[in-house]
């Protein structure tokens, strides 16, 4: 049987084969660059302090891996490629190139975070602007996660076949375009469509970002720097809540063209939210493709050039430009599927070639997805799917439950201040002050004027209105129930037909009713939404720092299991959430503890799967995460104001189950990326 792997040799001068590139080959290749330097004059600074030279540490690690290979019964071609690639990344070092890529990919991760927050932050204003019902508001929150679920699955699979960089550029472009159009969309349907389109795009960023960045990291740097990358998700939440707080309450930051086109401040906020995606898009144009992806797809020349670029960029920045990239041989797999695509695309019309390529690509992606449940990966995939689901179910469910509980407590406090008026009789009176949080029962209003006022949470019940005049009325949650209205005029009001329940009209006139629902109340409740989001994101900073510092020291499994189990214990503090301040405090505690588990889950996901399936696996698991988020937020929200017990027990059970299963996963901190 033919070996599916082919050796591809690159010669630099008289360099040796890959197996000697770190020894004699390096000396020969570097001889010209270092001519005139006396090695005896260049003393290592830590030599007299007993600190081993970095090259000695590197050589010791390679010797240990070589010894492990000799002990093993046999080494597969895939494992041999992984070992070679790890050696190359060690020679390239960690420096300027990785930090530049770190910032660019971090901005892409920020864009994903912002997308999760943007709808929740604009809803209080958008519902007034577009007159949204409760069902429409719920659908708007749901559609973003639905789009992100499909986006993660689709783009994760494509990233393993088309390329990490190319797919990430496309998803960021989709997010930018949809953000622009959704900010100008006046109708609910168009706004919903563009947010769905945005979710499908940006949903693919998380699987690609982690897969992409991990393939530029050496083993001893991988866990820590992937965890630092997770901090950009926190920064995205802080960015979104901060600019929402700064922009949305500024109602003057907008314009209108008649009554049909309104561009209020919340639409400015939607536009500004696209800035991280735009910055990441521009940065990616200057970044190369993952060399590991290129090697998996038999693009050896391109991979070698990129690895040389990484090597030279890092060592020049460290002040050692004389270091020469001496790799001369890389063992890479040959992929038959992509050749099939090229053969087909060379014939037929442009449309036929597009159809053939699309169908073939779809088959390859689905084949890759099914391979995740093969004999060698089935157990890891099932365990990771359960852990992702339980973590997301609890986290996103409680993330919705916290602000909803705050709103519920605010509503209870508001209702406790309700004023009730019985059988009041008011004649020839001019109401020139706003009415709020009142109930008027069996009242009589004769020849009264209601002019230039706002009515908020007002109910008239079994009341009589005779010869009254209503002008320029703006209302919210105001109804007339079982009232009799005679010889009354409603001029320039927003008191529509649906606000009169079982009422009797006699000689009543409605003139120039207001269109839309543009009540520009600057409600304290809206500001609290921004504050809660800001504090919840800021609270994860300590957990991010701790997990990054200890990810490579104590291991991924202990981080995930410990964080999930401690988070489960924190849920019982929610029984003590009797005030808004207490809920905010428990939210910060829960977010701060649970973020370590998130970081560990994302790190171990890229390490468990080989390069040819890495983004696909991450995409499938991230899609499961978004499904859990949809279910968790829907279920937890339904119990707000009814009981705390069920949400707390659900989150506790899910976190304990996921935490225990996490302890069954294999530790990956000392394994090279396959």
Instruction: Considering only residues 41 and 652, tell me which one the structure prediction assigns the higher pLDDT.
Output: 652
* Tokens read off for 34: 């270092």
Asked if residues 206 and 112 have their Cβ atoms less than 8 Å apart, the reply is: yes
15 band by pLDDT with thresholds 50, 70 and 90: very low
How far is it, in rounded angstroms, from Cα 479 to Cα 455? 10
Q: State yes or no: pLDDT of 326 exceeds 70.
A: yes
Q: Residue 94: phi, psi to the nearest 5? A: -115, 120
The pLDDT assigned to 34 comes to 38
How far is it, in rounded angstroms, from Cα 553 to Cα 227? 13
How far is it, in rounded angstroms, from Cα 124 to Cα 248? 10
The pLDDT assigned to 4 comes to 41
Q: State yes or no: pLDDT of 144 exceeds 80.
A: yes
Asked if residues 110 and 232 have their Cβ atoms less than 8 Å apart, the reply is: yes
20 band by pLDDT with thresholds 50, 70 and 90: very low
625 band by pLDDT with thresholds 50, 70 and 90: very high
Interior/surface letters 192-222, b for 16+ CB within 10 angstroms, e for the rest: bbbbbbbbbbbbbbbbbbbbbbbbbbbbbbb
Q: State yes or no: pLDDT of 210 exceeds 90.
A: yes
* C-alpha dihedral sign at 404, 408, 409, 413: positive
Instruction: Considering only residues 24 and 654, tell me which one the structure prediction assigns the higher pLDDT.
Output: 654
- What are 477-490's pLDDT values in tens digits? 889 999 999 999 99
The pLDDT assigned to 669 comes to 80
| Residues near 40 by beta carbon (within 8 Å), at least 6 away in sequence | none
620 band by pLDDT with thresholds 50, 70 and 90: very high
Give the strand pairing for 449-461 and 430-431. Answer: parallel
338 band by pLDDT with thresholds 50, 70 and 90: very low
Q: Mean of the pLDDT values across residues 416-436?
A: 89
* Tokens read off for 485: 């209205």
Which of 7-21, 30-44, 232-246, 569-583 has the highest mean predicted lDDT (pLDDT)? 232-246
How far is it, in rounded angstroms, from Cα 137 to Cα 124? 10
* Tokens read off for 202: 């940006």
Interior/surface letters 160-173, b for 16+ CB within 10 angstroms, e for the rest: bbbbbbebbbbbbe
Q: Mean of the pLDDT values across residues 182-188?
A: 83
The pLDDT assigned to 38 comes to 40
- Min mean pLDDT across 87-96, 128-137, 254-263 is at 254-263
Q: Give the domains, in start order, of the chain with CATH numbers.
A: 57-333 (1.20.1250.20), 417-511 (2.160.20.80)
* C-alpha dihedral sign at 614, 619, 624, 629: positive
The pLDDT assigned to 242 comes to 87
Q: Mean of the pLDDT values across residues 258-269?
A: 72
What's the whole-number average pLDDT of the chain?
A: 81
Q: Mean of the pLDDT values across residues 18-23?
A: 36
Beta strands in 394-514 (DSSP E): 419-422, 425-427, 430-431, 435-441, 444-446, 449-461, 464-466, 469-476, 479-481, 484-486, 489-493, 500-501, 504-506, 509-511
Asked if residues 425 and 443 have their Cβ atoms less than 8 Å apart, the reply is: yes
* Tokens read off for 564: 């999930």
How far is it, in rounded angstroms, from Cα 618 to Cα 380? 12
The pLDDT assigned to 560 comes to 92
How far is it, in rounded angstroms, from Cα 356 to Cα 353? 5
The pLDDT assigned to 14 comes to 38
Q: Mean of the pLDDT values across residues 299-307?
A: 87
> Which position has the token pair 């906020």?
269
The pLDDT assigned to 207 comes to 92
> Which position has the token pair 């073939």?
360
Q: How many CB atoms lie within 10 A of CB 581?
A: 10
Q: Which of 528, 648, 643, 661 has its CA nearest to residue 601?
A: 661
Give the strand pairing for 479-481 and 449-461. Answer: parallel
Q: What is the share, in percent, of the chain residues with pLDDT greater than 70?
A: 82
The pLDDT assigned to 388 comes to 94
* C-alpha dihedral sign at 399, 402, 408, 411: negative
Contacts 24+ apart (CB under 8 A), 102-105: 102/213, 102/225, 102/228, 102/229, 103/283, 104/280, 104/283, 104/284, 104/287, 105/209, 105/212, 105/213, 105/229, 105/232, 105/280
How far is it, in rounded angstroms, from Cα 283 to Cα 368? 30
* C-alpha dihedral sign at 520, 523, 526, 530: positive
18 Rama sector, left if φ>0, alpha if ψ -120 to 50, beta otherwise: alpha
Q: Mean of the pLDDT values across residues 212-220?
A: 89
Q: Mean of the pLDDT values across residues 139-155?
A: 89
The pLDDT assigned to 40 comes to 40
Asked if residues 55 and 305 have their Cβ atoms less than 8 Å apart, the reply is: no
332 band by pLDDT with thresholds 50, 70 and 90: low
* Tokens read off for 123: 């809803």
Asked if residues 176 and 153 have their Cβ atoms less than 8 Å apart, the reply is: no
How far is it, in rounded angstroms, from Cα 344 to Cα 357? 7
Asked if residues 97 and 313 have their Cβ atoms less than 8 Å apart, the reply is: yes
* Tokens read off for 321: 């430009």
> Which position has the token pair 């394994």?
671
- Min mean pLDDT across 26-30, 312-316, 425-429, 631-635 is at 26-30
Q: State yes or no: pLDDT of 39 exceeds 50.
A: no
- Min mean pLDDT across 17-26, 341-350, 620-629 is at 17-26
103 band by pLDDT with thresholds 50, 70 and 90: very high
Partners of 435 in the β-ladder? 455
386 band by pLDDT with thresholds 50, 70 and 90: very high
The pLDDT assigned to 440 comes to 93
| Residues near 239 by beta carbon (within 8 Å), at least 6 away in sequence | 110, 113, 114, 276
- Min mean pLDDT across 27-31, 327-331, 342-346, 583-587 is at 27-31
CA 334 to chain CA centroid, Å, is 34
Q: Which of 672, 658, 548 has its CA nearest to residue 607?
A: 672
The pLDDT assigned to 69 comes to 53
The pLDDT assigned to 64 comes to 56
Q: Mean of the pLDDT values across residues 359-369?
A: 88
- Whole-model pTM? 0.79
H or E segment and range at residue 330: strand 329-333
- What are 437-467's pLDDT values in tens digits? 899 999 999 999 999 988 888 999 999 999 9
Q: State yes or no: pLDDT of 547 exceeds 80.
A: yes
Helices (H), 215-297: 219-247, 265-272, 275-284, 291-296
Instruction: Considering only residues 253 and 30, tell me which one the structure prediction assigns the higher pLDDT.
Output: 253
- What are 514-536's pLDDT values in tens digits? 765 544 444 544 567 778 888 88
């Amino acid at each position: 049987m033919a070996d599916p792997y082919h050796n591809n040799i690159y010669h630099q001068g008289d360099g040796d084969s890959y197996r000697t590139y770190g020894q004699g080959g390096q000396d020969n290749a570097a001889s010209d660059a270092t001519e005139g330097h006396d090695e005896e004059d260049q003393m290592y600074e830590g030599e007299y302090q007993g600190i081993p030279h970095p090259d000695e540490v590197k050589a010791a690690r390679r010797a240990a891996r070589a010894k492990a290979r000799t002990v093993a019964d046999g080494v597969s071609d895939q494992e041999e490629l992984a070992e070679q690639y790890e050696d190359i990344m060690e020679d390239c070092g960690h420096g300027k190139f990785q930090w530049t890529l770190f910032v660019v990919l971090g901005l892409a991760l920020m864009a994903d975070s912002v997308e999760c927050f943007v709808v929740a932050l604009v809803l209080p204003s958008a519902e007034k602007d577009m007159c949204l019902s409760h069902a429409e508001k719920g659908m708007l929150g749901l559609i973003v996660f639905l789009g992100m679920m499909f986006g993660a699955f689709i783009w994760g699979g494509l990233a393993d076949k088309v390329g990490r960089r190319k797919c990430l550029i496309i998803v960021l472009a989709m997010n930018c375009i949809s953000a622009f159009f959704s900010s100008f969309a006046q109708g609910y349907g168009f706004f919903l469509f563009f947010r769905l389109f945005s979710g499908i795009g940006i949903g693919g960023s998380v699987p690609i970002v982690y897969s992409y960045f991990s393939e530029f990291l050496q083993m001893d740097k991988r866990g820590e720097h992937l965890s630092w990358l997770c901090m950009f998700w926190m920064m995205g939440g802080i960015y979104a809540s901060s600019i929402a707080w700064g922009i949305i309450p500024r109602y003057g930051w907008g314009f209108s063209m008649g009554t049909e086109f309104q561009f209020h401040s919340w639409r400015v906020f939607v536009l500004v939210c696209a800035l991280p995606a735009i910055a990441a898009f521009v940065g990616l144009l200057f970044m190369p493709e993952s060399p590991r992806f290129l090697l998996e797809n038999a693009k050896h020349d391109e991979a070698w050039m990129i690895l040389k670029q990484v090597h030279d960029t890092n060592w020049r920045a460290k002040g050692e430009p004389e270091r020469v990239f001496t790799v001369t041989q890389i063992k890479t797999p040959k992929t038959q599927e992509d050749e099939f695509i090229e053969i087909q695309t060379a014939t037929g019309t442009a449309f036929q070639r597009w159809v053939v390529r699309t169908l073939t690509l779809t088959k390859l992606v689905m084949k890759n997805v099914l391979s995740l449940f093969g004999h060698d990966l089935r157990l890891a995939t099932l365990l990771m799917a359960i852990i992702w689901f339980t973590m997301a179910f609890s986290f996103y469910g409680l993330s919705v439950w916290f602000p909803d509980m705050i709103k519920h407590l605010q509503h209870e406090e508001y209702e406790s201040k309700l004023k009730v008026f019985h059988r009041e009789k008011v004649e020839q009176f001019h109401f020139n002050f706003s009415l709020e949080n009142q109930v008027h029962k069996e009242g009589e209003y004769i020849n009264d004027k209601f002019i230039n006022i706002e009515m908020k949470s007002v109910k008239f019940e079994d009341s009589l209105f005779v010869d009254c005049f209503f002008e320029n009325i703006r209302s919210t949650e105001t109804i007339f129930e079982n009232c009799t209205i005679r010889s009354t005029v409603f001029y320039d009001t927003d008191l529509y037909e649906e606000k009169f329940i079982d009422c009797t009209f006699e000689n009543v006139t409605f003139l120039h009713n207001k269109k839309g629902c543009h009540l520009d109340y600057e409600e304290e409740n809206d500001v609290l939404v921004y504050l809660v989001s800001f504090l919840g994101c800021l609270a994860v900073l300590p957990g991010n720092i701790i997990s990054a510092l200890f990810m490579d020291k104590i291991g991924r499994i202990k981080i995930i299991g410990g964080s999930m189990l401690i988070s489960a214990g924190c849920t019982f503090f929610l029984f003590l959430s009797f005030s808004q301040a207490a809920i905010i405090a428990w939210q910060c505690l829960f977010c701060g503890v649970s973020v370590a588990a998130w970081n560990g889950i994302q790190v171990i996901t890229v390490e468990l799967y080989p390069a040819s399936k890495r983004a696909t696996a991450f995409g499938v698991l991230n899609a499961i995460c978004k499904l859990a988020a949809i279910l968790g937020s829907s279920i937890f929200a339904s119990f707000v104001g009814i009981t705390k017990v069920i949400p707390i027990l659900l989150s506790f059970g899910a976190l304990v189950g996921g935490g225990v299963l996490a302890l069954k996963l294999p530790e990956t901190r000392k394994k090279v990326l396959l």
